[in-house]
């Protein structure tokens, strides 16, 4: 498997590589970080962007063994939700996460950058799980546990529980059989 991270222009230059470094400790996949792409424009007077608009900027590879996750600094919303930490389109093999709300409480704090990298890594892993066909997990420590608020993200671990790992290993995409 290969995971490609695509930063949007609103993301600090070094941050995507730092997130990729953290992900390497969890995912035994090839990881690539591409050059930044433009951020989605606001469709209305709202400061948040539609998650679907961010996905439309990303280019799916069309390969079953390659996934793409965008990282934006813009606040994202989806359907009936005022905000989302991340959003996935499994049928396209692409997802996006937002650093906007993940930054809360990290600025000017000792260890703040490390906390932001940890939160972003959890959200990337969560969206990768959705891209691989996983739903939300009822295990609070699993990265696939649903995060309704930032404290939920902080409480969960930066890895998949045994049940989710087992499920991922059974998925056709994991074996390259699509």
Residues acting as catalytic residues: 127
Is residue 28 within a helix (H) or strand (E), and if so which, with residue range?
Answer: none
Going by C-alpha positions, the residue among 167, 107, 106 that lies closest to residue 142 is 167
Going by C-alpha positions, the residue among 29, 31, 32, 35 that lies closest to residue 7 is 35
Backbone angles phi, psi at 114, to 5 degrees: -60, -40
Going by C-alpha positions, the residue among 118, 69, 75 that lies closest to residue 99 is 75
Going by C-alpha positions, the residue among 102, 103, 111, 127 that lies closest to residue 6 is 127
Task: Give the span between the Cα atoms of 134 and 141, in whole angstroms.
Answer: 15
CB 171 within 8 A of CB 38: no
- SS3 of residue 24 by DSSP: helix
């Amino acid at each position: 498997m290969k995971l490609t991270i695509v930063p949007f222009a609103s993301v600090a230059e070094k941050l995507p590589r730092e997130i990729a470094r953290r992900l390497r400790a969890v995912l035994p996949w090839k990881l690539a970080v591409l050059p930044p792409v433009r951020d989605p424009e606001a469709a209305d007077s709202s400061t948040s962007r539609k998650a679907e608009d961010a996905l439309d900027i990303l280019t799916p590879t069309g390969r079953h063994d390659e996934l793409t996750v965008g990282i934006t600094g813009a606040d994202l919303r989806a359907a009936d939700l005022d905000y989302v930490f991340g959003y996935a389109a499994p049928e396209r093999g692409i997802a996006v996460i937002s650093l906007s709300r993940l930054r809360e409480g990290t600025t000017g704090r000792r260890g703040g950058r490390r906390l932001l990298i940890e939160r972003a890594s959890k959200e990337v892993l969560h969206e990768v799980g959705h891209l691989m066909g996983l739903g939300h997990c009822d295990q609070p420590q699993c990265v696939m546990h649903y995060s309704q608020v930032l404290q939920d993200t902080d409480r969960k671990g930066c890895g998949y529980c045994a049940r989710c790992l087992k499920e991922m290993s059974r998925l056709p995409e994991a074996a390259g059989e699509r």
